[in-house]
Each structure stands twice: as structure tokens, then as C-alpha cells.
Amino acid sequence: MSALDEEMMGDMPDIFADAGDPVDYQGAGFTANSVMAIKDDSFEVYDQDQVAMRVTTMSVQNKDVATSRQGDRIVTPSRTWIVQQILEDDGHVKRLWVS
């Protein structure tokens, strides 16, 4: 791991504590309670015709949620989100398209 990665990993819990909210993550055969997730209502993706669209994403730390797949549930106090796709996973944080 590079020095930058180590520095980022050291700050990651604070970033999620400041910008995130506690959620319950319900995956295939496991539930992770009260993990911190960062919601983004305006992440841009491209469909198969290369048309841009904005989607809602939730980012979670891999240390809290090791595996994710389509159909997993992210439960907040006001809503249950369904994972549609893993958009990014750098080994530390994954960004999930939810609806």
C-alpha cells in the first residue's frame, strides 16, 4: 500500500463519520447493522447508448460491507434502498447504484 493509500485509509473513518449516516446493510446471508454510508443524489452514469443520467448512490467501506450484489438492501430510517449495481470499488470503498 502506498503512503497516500495509508493516509487515505487513516482518514476514511472520519470522512464517513462526518459525511455519512448509519444504515443497516442486508446482503445475501448477512446483515451489517449501523454501518456508515454516504448518499449522493446526483452521481452521473451513462447508459448503453452513452446517454448521461443522474442516479442515487450509496458509498460504504469494504471493511463494513465486504461483498455487495444486485438486490441487496440498504435500510435507512426513512426508506429501504435496493442495490442495482456496483459502480466503483477501489478495495477500500464501494459506490453502489441504489433505487
Cell numbers representing residue 54 in the block: 443522474
Topology of domain 3-98, CATH: Thrombin, subunit H (2.40.10)
Per-residue pLDDT of the chain (99 residues; tens, 9 = 90+): 566 566 566 678 888 988 999 999 999 999 999 999 999 999 999 988 999 999 999 999 999 999 999 999 999 999 999 999 999 999 999 999 999
Cell numbers representing residue 91 in the block: 478495495
User: What residue has cell string 460491507?
Assistant: 65
pLDDT at 13: 84
Query: Where along the chain do its domains lie?
Result: 3-98
pLDDT at 77: 94
pLDDT at 3: 67
pLDDT at 11: 77
Asked if residue 33 lies in contact with residue 24, where contact means CB atoms within 8 angstroms, the answer is yes
